[in-house]
Amino acid sequence: MAMPLDLRRRLAASLISLSVGLASALAALLWISNDWIESTTLDRVLQRELDVYASIDPSKTSPAAGLRYLRPALTHQAVPPELADLGPGSYRDFPLDEGRYHVVVRDLAAGDRAWLLYDVHVFSERERWLHAALVAGVGAVALAAWLMSGWIARQALGPFEDLVTRIRAIDPAQRGQRLESWEEDGDLEIIVAALNDHMARIDALIERERAFASAASHELRTPLAAIRGAADVLALMPDAPPQVLDRIQRGVADAVADLDALLALSQGRELPAAHEIALEQFLPQAAEPYVTPAQEQQTQIVWASKARASLRAPPALLGIVFTNLLRNAIRAAPGGEIRIDFDRHAISVADDGEGMTPEQLKTVFEPGTKGRHGGSGMGLYIARTLAQRCGWTLTLQSEAGKGTVAKVNLA
């Protein structure tokens, strides 16, 4: 499976930004260096030229092309007002007569000031070409970076994509699986070794949990069987109280059902064999042990569906899921009504109890979350986990003061 596109895009964007940033910095450095060298060199040349012109009679020589030499003390030339206001020194890009000049001003003697001007339009033209070349260069770098960044990102993330593919290929239901060594890449080999070590520790933990669950199941079934046998013997006595016997037998049945559910959750093995189940017969039989407790609370159980419906599923797991939902409904609606509806696609158990708030719904499937009317806090967690293992979906719809609807989608 490919890495998320956002990661590739971030890496490609980083490469483009880095390339354009470095190219821009280099272009700026070249521009500043060129400008400084040009200005410094031109200023030194003009200073030397001014030395030469100052030592000769300006009436007997003429400046070289591009130069203007003004020395009004000797030639009585008119000096433009813009230049007359300048003090001794050098001036870059000085505007004069719709042109731009590099101007050097020097006082040769008292009342004898000279101006040497050089027309820099040639340099300006060259600077425009240099500026265009630098901009084009940065643009070319940006284009090349954009074209290459995708390929570079794929090459850089390719090993990680392979690693993600190998990790996703691991079946969590099978113990002892490990990632293959990645000797060609030392950095990834460190990640692979860490993941393999982590999976080894998880395997060891799961095996310990499975061993504990099996041992606990064995130890608990023995006293439960003894209680059930004692209840059967007690039922043969003429003066045995029937209500007490019913409660003992229901308690043992509930304990065995919970034990089977917890054992099924902890083992993580293959699902029990599926059989064709006639829901119109199976569900009332599964609900029968809980009818008397509902009647004792004056709770009415209504079977909304009378139609025949069959489903191929593991009977034990379907029974655990359904009875957990039914017991929760009985506890939630004492003296109320529980409505059971089913077809081959879904089973729903609705009660008219107190219902739940949106905040309670967020945590209702977490283990240990108990309702207002007691319970172990494991019923809905067990029901949803077993439903997920069977490929079903368990949902709850509830509103405070209006009851709750638990629905198992079987399709």
pLDDT (tens digit, 9 = 90+) per residue, 337-347? Answer: 999 999 989 99
Residue 360 scores a pLDDT above 90: no
Q: What percent of the chain has pLDDT over 90?
A: 11
Phi, psi of 166, deg, nearest 5: -65, -40
Q: Categorize the per-residue pLDDT at 184 as very low, low, confident or very high, splitting at 50, 70 and 90.
A: low
Architecture of domain 271-409: 2-Layer Sandwich (3.30)
Mean pLDDT of the chain: 81
Cβ pair 123, 39 in contact under 8 A: no
CA–CA separation, 313 and 350 (whole Å): 23
The C-alpha atoms of residue 268 and residue 271 are separated, in whole angstroms, by 8
Token digits of residue 363 = 């945590």
pTM beyond 0.85, yes or no: no
Query: pLDDT digit string (tens) for 228-261?
Result: 777 777 777 777 677 677 767 766 776 776 676 6
